[in-house]
Amino acid sequence: MQKSNLFIIFLSLTILLIFIWRNIMANEQKDLIHMTLKDGLVVIETLPEVAPKHVSQIKQLILQKKYDGVVFHRVIDGFMAQTGDVEFGNSSNESFNISRAGTGGSDLPDIPAEFSDVNHGRGVVSMARAQPPDSANSQFFICFNDCSFLDGQYSVWGKVIKGMEFVDNITRGEPPSDPDKIIKMEIVE
């Protein structure tokens, strides 16, 4: 009787330690992204355990400074703010064209869908795409409110953990007449 009790205690502790270790390792792999907007700093926590390919591509584009100067070209009140067109939406480039913003992407290949059951709640950051599921590239959106009708259809790759009030202040429009832009995006390790 005592051996079986000790075995159960040992087994329980082993399982508990595995879960604790797994959570520690998952948290160590997450990066924070600082996105500077006109009103302040937005902090996004990446979710590599949910969408590793999307997180990797976003990080690569940030390291190449592709998002600096990119406008929010589609901002719908109560829904989301979309940005990330590094081809036509970068207000610092010669190719900037607000009427074409939202139709371009990066030089990198499109990313295979990494749909999940993560809820598209307030502050969730998810990839924009065309109709084909594997067409996400550089564009993303931040949810203003619950958008759970998008769950399982778009690849969630991050969550705003600080500064959502600055996202709330982004100028609305499709496109806005004077769009807000990402001043700077950087990875904080």
Label residue 25 by pLDDT band (50, 70, 90): very low
- pLDDT beyond 60 at 28: no
- The structure tokens 């065309």 sit at 130
Closest to 56 in 3D by CA, of 33, 88, 86, 82: 33
Give the helix/strand (H/E) hosting 14.
Answer: helix 2-29
What pLDDT score was predicted for residue 14? 67
Q: Across the chain, what does the average pLDDT equal?
A: 91
The answer to whether 106 and 86 are in contact (CB under 8 A) is yes
Question: Could you tell me which residues come within 8 angstroms of residue 23 by beta carbon, excluding any fewer than 6 positions away?
Answer: none
Closest to 75 in 3D by CA, of 135, 143, 129: 143
The 10s digit of each residue's pLDDT in 141-166 is 999 999 999 999 999 999 999 999 99
Pull the structure tokens for residue 180.
């807000």
Give the predicted TM-score (pTM) of the model: 0.84
How many Å apart are CA 98 and CA 178, to the nearest integer? 10
Dump the DSSP string for 119-176.
---TTEEEE---SSTT-BSS-EEEESS--GGGTTTS-EEEEEEE-HHHHHTSPPBSS-
